């Protein structure tokens, strides 16, 4: 499916695209609308807004308006949907769809981009199937001519899933889910502080209709005592089990209990379980002071998270390409993300699997329901189940696992430590906390860490263990003595590039010091996201959200003052990840980074671009600069250059964001990612220790006994530290290749640069493969 020969700026000439949002609103829909409009215009197509969803399509008239480049400005940071959404009864009748077809034919629109939930997308598909017969009827009724019908003989449809419930199969994340989790976690954090003051039990009811995703991820991210989800009702007799667990937690010294309930929760018999039912049960059986909070529409509101803006923007680009490349034979598709890959999936296959979940739940095939929800849902469920078991085994493994934090602190480190400690205890190991990095390891600053020792850590920013940037090479002898003294059998190293380097130095020291021949795993945790072997690092999402919300405020200030350009310096060492992603999420005009070389010509072009921009309605600019992108073109230099060249046209301000990017409470993504990484690392160690246990002792010196645990494309994988050396630029402390570099052209196009977009890299149509088990249980390709 290579399209290198096609000039993307001419792909859309003579074509018209309409974009509508339908069903319940979700944060990030505006980002998708903005990208669809701008990329559509970039390809030479005409793009129309359809206001008020399908209702606007049926009513026509002023509801269908031509969009301009400027008309989607300042939309990125707004929640909800600016073009409006409505539940529409008229479109459900053929008569209504006939009116909609007439309105589209009259405007020459044959490409429809629908942003909504499964109902909205199913409706779009039906519309497409009937299109030919609708045109025949319109010709018969004399409403359109034969010529008009011939010109509009085929309707292309592409869907993007916008729904906070994340209930659509085939997509890892739907637009709005991450933002809804942000709202929920803000509330959970606030409630936790008051519950601890009074030793209370809090029951929180979250949205999600018949899907337990929000409830499940919330439970993981806040370390809840119990979660009720519709896909997996609790076993019979759960009432006694729940009360025992809550009492048990109190006995262990916990001052609060948190229970998360999905709005569609039910028991095995199909009776609903409400937050009120649980409250009565806890008060009656335990006499605990209990409060319920039903979150409601708060979850749909507020500004979209950085993830949802990038997701919406990437999907908007992909949707336009899918529409313009579609043939009458291509099935209607949804564009979505799997891992960090954009994918296209046949719409009706996804709808079918989504329906299969409902069937499985109705037929009480709970295991199938969880599988059908997809890989990430299943992983979340398994991690939750493991961490929720409080009874550690009676038999101890006599294994000592040490955990250490290295490098600069970042949000989410503590979540990784917490899950590693708890999974280790469940495996029967003794867990040891090392304070202050490799220096602390050398000095023997080590103590046992218990189950309750890590209570409440998921929501804490920074590093509770303490961390240092010192590398182990200067302490290698002391470290090997400490390992022998504390009888450490395995090491979990959580941190950034120093953690990776330190791991390598320990591996190199194995030749000389036998004590270092133990399994080791590095978990990437750094705001810079510069660790080889992983597409994402713990902490980068939190930093990205911090930068994005700061840019929003700065843009607001600039929009008020008019004719102002802000130059913002971001962190990341030599890695341009934060600058690039924040550029996409905040709608920057340029982002200067080390990996994408730039010179005086580029700076000149950027200044000229801003001069032109000041002639439009959008009189403000936002420029991001990575701290180490160029030794000579410093932030001060760029500020001075723009100030001089913009004299009389715009004035400049500069901001250096600094250490605020390392702080703050972790985002839901970082809590969840940290939790999964910590648990996966310790499970790997347990298996590795069995492999390397020989003649009564542990001896690990093969390359695969010291790995980086990383997220690659679609899965968590372990890669030997030694093998990653080839992929590393040690001078600049970055990987030699980075997946996110291919998102940079999208940022430039959305900022109105007329550059070439390489369309050869576009997503192929994939299938939601079905593996028939005894009962239909499709597994998502993720």
262 contact partners, CB below 8 Å, separation of at least 6: 205, 206, 208, 211, 212, 214, 215, 216, 227, 228, 229, 230
Q: Where are the alpha helices (DSSP H) in 341-432?
A: 347-362, 366-372, 375-388, 413-426
165 is catalytic: yes
Q: Provide long-range contacts, Cβ within 8 A and 24+ apart, for 609-613.
A: 609/751, 609/752, 609/753, 610/565, 610/642, 610/646, 610/650, 611/645, 611/646, 611/649, 611/650, 613/589, 613/752
Q: Which of 103, 67, 95, 100 is nearest to 83 (CA)?
A: 67
- What is the length of the chain? 782
**88 is an annotated ligand-binding site residue:** yes
Distance CA 21, CA 405 (A): 45
Distance CA 115, CA 318 (A): 13
**300 is an annotated ligand-binding site residue:** yes
**620 is an annotated ligand-binding site residue:** no
**223 is an annotated ligand-binding site residue:** no
**662 is an annotated ligand-binding site residue:** yes
**726 is an annotated ligand-binding site residue:** no
Q: Which of 105, 181, 91 is nearest to 136 (CA)?
A: 105
What is the residue whose two structure tokens read 């000579």?
A: 632
**Cβ density class 285-310: b for 16+ within 10 Å, e for less:** ebebebebeebeeebbebbbbbbbbb
**529 is an annotated ligand-binding site residue:** yes
Which of 59, 90, 147, 165 is flagged as catalytic?
A: 165
**263 is an annotated ligand-binding site residue:** yes
How many Å is the Cα radius of gyration of the chain? 27
Whole-angstrom CA distances from 768 to 343, 366, 372, 378, 756 are 11, 20, 10, 16, 32
**636 is an annotated ligand-binding site residue:** no
Distance CA 260, CA 218 (A): 8
**Spatial contact of 343 and 763, defined as CB atoms under 8 Å apart:** yes
CA 80 to chain centre: 18
**173 is an annotated ligand-binding site residue:** no
Q: Which two tokens stand for residue 454?
A: 């890590």
Per DSSP, the residues of 205-234 read EE--TT--HHHHHHHHHHT-SEEEBTTBPP
**469 is an annotated ligand-binding site residue:** yes
Q: Provide long-range contacts, Cβ within 8 A and 24+ apart, for 148-153.
A: 148/105, 148/106, 149/105, 151/108, 152/104, 152/105, 152/108, 152/109, 152/110
Q: Within 10 Å of residue 509's Cβ, how many Cβ atoms?
A: 18
**329 is an annotated ligand-binding site residue:** no
Degrees (nearest 5) of the Cα angle 505, 511, 512?
90
Degrees (nearest 5) of the Cα angle 654, 658, 662?
145
**774 is an annotated ligand-binding site residue:** no
**120 is an annotated ligand-binding site residue:** yes
Q: Which of 178, 200, 194 is nearest to 259 (CA)?
A: 200
**128 is an annotated ligand-binding site residue:** no
**182 is an annotated ligand-binding site residue:** no
**236 is an annotated ligand-binding site residue:** no
**733 is an annotated ligand-binding site residue:** yes
**661 is an annotated ligand-binding site residue:** yes
Distance CA 324, CA 158 (A): 10
Helix (H, G, I), strand (E, B) or coil at 440: helix
**163 is an annotated ligand-binding site residue:** yes
**302 is an annotated ligand-binding site residue:** no
Q: Which of 339, 326, 439 is nearest to 3 (CA)?
A: 326
**376 is an annotated ligand-binding site residue:** no
**15 is an annotated ligand-binding site residue:** no
**627 is an annotated ligand-binding site residue:** yes
Distance CA 109, CA 179 (A): 32
What is the rounded (10 degree) CA torsion for 586, 587, 590, 594? Answer: 40
**207 is an annotated ligand-binding site residue:** yes
**298 is an annotated ligand-binding site residue:** yes
**528 is an annotated ligand-binding site residue:** yes
Distance CA 524, CA 531 (A): 6
**653 is an annotated ligand-binding site residue:** yes
Distance CA 454, CA 449 (A): 8
**767 is an annotated ligand-binding site residue:** no
272: β partners: 266
**200 is an annotated ligand-binding site residue:** yes
Known binding-site residue numbers: 24, 87-88, 117-120, 163-165, 200, 207-209, 263, 291, 297-300, 469, 526-530, 564, 627, 653, 659-662, 733
Known binding-site residue numbers for ATP: 24, 87-88, 117-120
Known binding-site residue numbers for beta-D-fructose 2,6-bisphosphate: 469, 526-530, 564, 627, 653, 659-662, 733
Known binding-site residue numbers for substrate: 163-165, 200, 207-209, 263, 291, 297-300
Known binding-site residue numbers for Mg(2+): 118
Give catalytic residue positions.
165
């Amino acid at each position: 499916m290579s399209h290198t020969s096609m000039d993307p700026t001419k792909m859309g000439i003579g074509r018209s695209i309409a974009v509508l949002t339908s069903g319940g609103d979700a944060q990030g829909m505006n980002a998708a609308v903005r990208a669809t409009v701008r990329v559509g215009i970039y390809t030479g197509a005409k793009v129309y807004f359809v206001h008020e969803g399908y209702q606007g399509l049926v009513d026509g008239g002023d509801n269908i308006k031509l969009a301009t480049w400027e008309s989607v400005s300042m939309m990125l940071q707004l929640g909800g949907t600016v073009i409006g959404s409505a539940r529409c009864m008229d479109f459900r009748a053929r008569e209504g769809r006939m009116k909609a077809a007439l309105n589209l034919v009259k405007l020459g629109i044959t490409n429809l981009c629908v942003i909504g939930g499964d109902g909205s997308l199913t409706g779009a598909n039906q519309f497409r199937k009937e299109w030919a017969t609708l045109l025949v009827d319109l010709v018969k009724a004399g409403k359109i001519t034969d010529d008009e019908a011939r010109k509009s003989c085929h309707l292309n449809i592409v869907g993007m899933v916008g729904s906070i419930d994340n209930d659509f199969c085939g997509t890892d994340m739907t637009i709005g889910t991450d933002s809804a989790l942000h709202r929920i976690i803000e509330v959970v954090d606030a409630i936790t502080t008051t519950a601890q003051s009074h030793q209370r039990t809090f029951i929180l009811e979250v949205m999600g209709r018949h899907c337990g995703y929000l409830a499940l991820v919330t439970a993981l991210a806040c370390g809840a005592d119990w979660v009720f989800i519709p896909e997996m009702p609790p076993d019979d007799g759960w009432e006694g089990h729940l009360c025992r667990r809550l009492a048990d937690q109190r006995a262990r010294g916990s001052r609060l209990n948190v229970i998360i309930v999905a709005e569609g929760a039910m028991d095995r018999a199909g009776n609903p379980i409400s937050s009120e039912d649980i409250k009565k049960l806890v008060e009656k059986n335990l006499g605990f002071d209990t409060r319920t909070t039903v979150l409601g529409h708060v979850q749909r509101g507020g500004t979209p998270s950085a993830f949802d803006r990038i997701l919406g923007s990437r999907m908007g680009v992909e949707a336009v390409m899918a529409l313009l490349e579609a043939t009458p034979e291509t099935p209607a598709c949804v564009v979505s993300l799997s891992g960090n890959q954009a994918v296209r999936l046949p719409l009706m296959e996804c709808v079918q699997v989504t329906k299969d979940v409902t069937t499985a739940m109705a037929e009480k095939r709970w295991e199938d329901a969880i599988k059908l929800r997809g890989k990430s849902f299943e992983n979340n469920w398994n991690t939750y189940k493991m961490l929720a078991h409080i009874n550690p085994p009676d038999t101890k493994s006599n294994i000592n696992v040490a955990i250490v934090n290295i490098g600069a602190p970042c949000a989410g480190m503590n979540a990784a430590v917490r899950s590693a400690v708890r999974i280790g205890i469940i495996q029967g190991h003794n867990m040891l906390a090392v304070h202050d990095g490799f220096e602390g390891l050398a000095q023997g600053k080590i103590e046992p860490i218990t189950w309750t020792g890590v209570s409440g850590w998921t929501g804490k920013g920074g590093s509770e263990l303490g961390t240092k940037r010192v590398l182990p090479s200067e302490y290698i002898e002391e470290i090997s003595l400490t390992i022998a003294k504390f009888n450490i059998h395995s090491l979990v190293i959580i941190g950034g590039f120093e953690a990776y380097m330190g791991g390598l130095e320990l591996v190199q020291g194995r030749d000389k010091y036998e004590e270092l021949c133990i399994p080791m795993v590095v978990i990437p945790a750094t705001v810079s996201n510069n660790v080889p072997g992983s597409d994402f690092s713990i902490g980068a999402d939190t930093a990205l959200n911090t930068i994005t919300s700061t840019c929003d405020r700065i843009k607001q200030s600039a929009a008020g003052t008019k004719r102002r350009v802000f130059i913002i310096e971001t962190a990341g060492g030599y890695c341009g990840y934060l600058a690039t992603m924040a550029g996409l999420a905040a709608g920057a005009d340029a982002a200067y980074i080390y990996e994408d070389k730039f010179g005086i010509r580029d700076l000149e072009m950027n200044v000229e671009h801003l001069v032109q921009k000041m002639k439009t309605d959008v009189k403000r600019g936002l420029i991001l600069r990575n701290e180490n992108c160029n030794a000579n073109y410093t932030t001060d230099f760029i500020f001075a250059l723009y100030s001089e060249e913009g004299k009389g046209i715009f004035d400049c301000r500069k901001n250096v964001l600094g250490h605020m990017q390392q702080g703050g409470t972790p985002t839901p993504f970082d809590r969840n990612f940290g939790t999964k990484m910590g648990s996966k690392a310790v499970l790997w160690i347990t298996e590795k220790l069995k492999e390397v246990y020989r003649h009564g002792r542990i001896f690990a010196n093969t390359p695969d006994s010291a790995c980086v645990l990383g997220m690659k494309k679609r899965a968590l994988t372990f890669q030997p530290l030694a093998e990653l050396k080839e992929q590393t630029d040690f001078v600049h402390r970055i990987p030699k290749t980075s997946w996110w570099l291919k998102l940079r052209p999208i940022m430039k196009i959305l900022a109105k640069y007329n550059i070439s977009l390489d369309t050869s890299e576009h997503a192929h149509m994939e299938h939601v493969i079905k593996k028939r088990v005894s009962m239909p249980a499709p597994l998502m390709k993720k």
